Amino acid sequence: MDQPPQSLPAYPPLADRGALLAELERLIGAAWDSFDRPRLEEPGLGRELEQRLAQPLPEHGTDPQAALADAARVLDESNSPARPLYLGYVGSTGLEVGVLGAALAATYDVNLAATARAADLVEAQALQWVAQLIGFPLSEGAFTSGGMTSNMTALLVAREHALPGSRAQGFDGTKAAVYCSEEAHHSVVRAAEAAGIGERGVRKLPIDAQRRVRPADVAEAIVADRGAGFTPIAVVANGGTTLTGSVDPLGGLADVCADTGVWLHVDGAYGLPAAATRRARDLFAGLERVDSVTLDAHKWLGIQKGCSVVLVREAGALERSFGHEESYIRRTGTVNLVERTLEYSRPINSLKLWLALRTHGAAEFRRWIEHTLELAAELTRRVREDAEFELLHEPQLSTVCFRHTPDGVADLDAHNAALADAAQRDGRVFLADAVVDGNRCLRVCFVNFRTRTEDVTFALEALRALGRDLS
C-alpha cells in the first residue's frame, strides 16, 4: 500500500530543543542565584537591546538562542518581586518550585473549562489545602487569575444570594449596596461596577484608631439602606489592607451579617495567609463564620502570578451563580469547572501552589510567614527608636508606613516623595511612597521569604543616606 505523502508540519518544532532547554536552565539558575542576596545597584538597559525592542514585527524568524538571551536580559533589568529588598508593593517570593510547576503547566497547556480529568483533582486538592492552612470551612472554590477577579467572583455570588435570578433578569430597577471600609482595595469598587451595583452603591465607611471598620457603623448603614429601598448585597471585610495591613473585626461583622442576612466576604488577597500563624491568627477570629474569602497565592504564599483563589462556605453557591448549559460543553455527569467560575479558558495555575505545598509543607509556610511578620516588627522597633524617622501607624501584619523627618526639612511630604523616587533610581531598595492620614510617607511590605533580618538594617540605612543627600 502506498504511504501517505509526507509534508512538513505547519508549525515545525524548535530545531535544537536540548540546547535551548540547557540554556534556559542556565538562565533560570543564574536568576535564582541573583535572588539570594540584594543587588548593590540595578543594571541599566543597553542601547543595543533598547533599539531591538523598538523594531517592527519580524517577517522571518531569527536565532531562538538570541531571542531567549534578550528575553532574559529584559527580565533581569526589570523590577522583580523575587528580589529580597523588593519592598514597595505586595509582591511574591517567586518560589523555585513554582517555576517548575509553571513550566509543566505551560508545557501541557491543560484547559480547566470543561473537565480535565486528573487536573480537576489537583485543583480540588489545592483548594482544600489552602482552606485547611487558614482555617476556613470550604465547601467549594475556584482558582482565578488575581484578586480582582476573585473579589468580583465572590460579589457575583453574593448578588445571586441577595437577589435570586438577577444574573438572568438583571436588577429590574432594584437599588443595591455593598459595604466596606474607606481603606478597602479598589477592586471592591471595580467588582461593584462590573456586577451592576455601581460605584455609587459602594458604602465606604470610616475606620477606627486601628484602621478597622466598625461593625456598628455597618449595621447602621444596612438598616438605613433598607429603609431607603436598597438591597444590601454584601459586606466586604479587609483581611489585611493594601495600605497598612489592617484586619477588620471579622467576628463583629459576622454578627451583623447573621442578624441582617447579608453575605460576608473577606478580601484577604494579601493578608489572609497570616491566619495560619500563631502570631496573627487572633486577628482573624470569626473567619469560620464568613461566607467567602479571597486569597492571592502570588503574594504572601510566594507563588508566581497569577494564582488567586476564592473560597466559599455554602455548597452550590458558585454553580448557582455561574452554571449554564451550552451545546459546545460536554456533559459527563461531573461538574465542569467553568460552572463555578467567571472565567472560561483557564490554565492549571493551581499546580504551582499544589507543588509548593506538597514540596515544602504547611509548617514551612507558617515559619516563613512568621519570619516576615518579625521583619515588620523589627523595622517598627527601629523606626520608633530613631529620631530621624516617624512611624505613622501600628502595624498589624507585615506592612509598615513611616517617613523620614530630618531636621531642617520644611515640606516633609515633598521630601518623602523625592526619597521614594531616589530609592527606586538607586536600586538597592525598591519601595514606593503612599499617603496615610494625609501624610506622604514610605511604605514597606515584607512578604518575601528571601528577605533576611540583616536586610532591615541595610534598607533603613540606605534610606537614611539617600534622605540626607536630599535634605
60-117: pLDDT as tens digits: 888 889 899 989 998 888 888 888 888 988 989 999 999 999 999 998 888 777 776 8
Q: Are 249 and 219 in contact (CB under 8 A)?
A: no
The Cα–Cα gap between 337 and 323 comes to: 9
Q: 222: which residues sit within 8 A by CB, 6+ positions away? A: 179, 232, 235, 256, 260, 262
Kindly report the number of other CB atoms within 10 A of residue 423's CB atom: 24
The Cα–Cα gap between 321 and 310 comes to: 14
Q: Are 451 and 84 in contact (CB under 8 A)?
A: yes
DSSP class of 329: S
Strand pairing class (175-181; 292-296): unpaired
Residue 216: HSE in the Cβ half-sphere, 13 Å Cα cutoff: 1
Give yes or no for residue 346 having a pLDDT over 70: yes
Q: How confident is the model at residue 326 (pLDDT cuts 50, 70, 90)?
A: low
Complete edge-to-edge strand list for the sheet that includes strand 140-144: 140-144, 308-312, 292-296, 263-267, 230-238, 175-181, 202-205
Q: Alpha carbon 53 to chain centroid distance?
A: 29
Average pLDDT over residues 337-364: 88
245-302: pLDDT as tens digits: 999 999 999 999 999 999 999 999 999 999 999 999 999 999 999 999 999 999 999 9
157-209: pLDDT as tens digits: 999 999 998 888 888 889 999 999 999 999 999 999 999 999 999 999 999 99
Q: Are 460 and 382 in contact (CB under 8 A)?
A: yes
111-155: pLDDT as tens digits: 777 776 888 889 999 999 999 999 999 999 999 999 999 999 999
Instruction: State the pLDDT at residue 391.
Output: 97
- Give me the amino acid identity at 244: T
Q: Across-strand partners of 296?
A: 308
Q: The whole model's pTM is what?
A: 0.92
The Cα–Cα gap between 447 and 86 comes to: 9
Q: Are 252 and 197 in contact (CB under 8 A)?
A: no
Query: What is the CATH T-level fold of the domain 101-360, as seen in this structure?
Result: Aspartate Aminotransferase; domain 2 (3.40.640)
Tell me which of 24-38, 271-285, 352-366, 380-394 is least confident: 24-38
Q: Is 245 left (phi over 0), alpha (psi -120 to 50) or beta?
A: left
C-alpha cell belonging to residue 2: 502506498
Q: How far is CA 324 from CA 167, 328, 404, 426, in A?
A: 11, 11, 55, 53
Q: Across-strand partners of 293?
A: 266, 311
Instruction: State the pLDDT at residue 116.
Output: 66
Q: Are 450 and 32 in contact (CB under 8 A)?
A: no
Q: How far is CA 97 from CA 101, 178, 296, in A?
A: 6, 39, 17
The Cα–Cα gap between 283 and 171 comes to: 36
Q: Across-strand partners of 266?
A: 237, 293
The Cα–Cα gap between 431 and 429 comes to: 6
Three-class DSSP category at 87:
coil
Q: 312: which residues sit within 8 A by CB, 6+ positions away? A: 138, 139, 140, 141, 154, 157, 291, 292, 318
The Cα–Cα gap between 237 and 248 comes to: 6
**C-alpha closest to that of 38 among 86, 76, 84, 92:** 84
Every domain of the chain and the residues it spans? 101-360
The helix (H) or strand (E) run that includes residue 400 is strand 399-404
End-to-end CA distance of the chain: 87
Helices (H), 297-446: 317-322, 350-360, 362-385, 412-426
Residue 461: HSE in the Cβ half-sphere, 13 Å Cα cutoff: 5
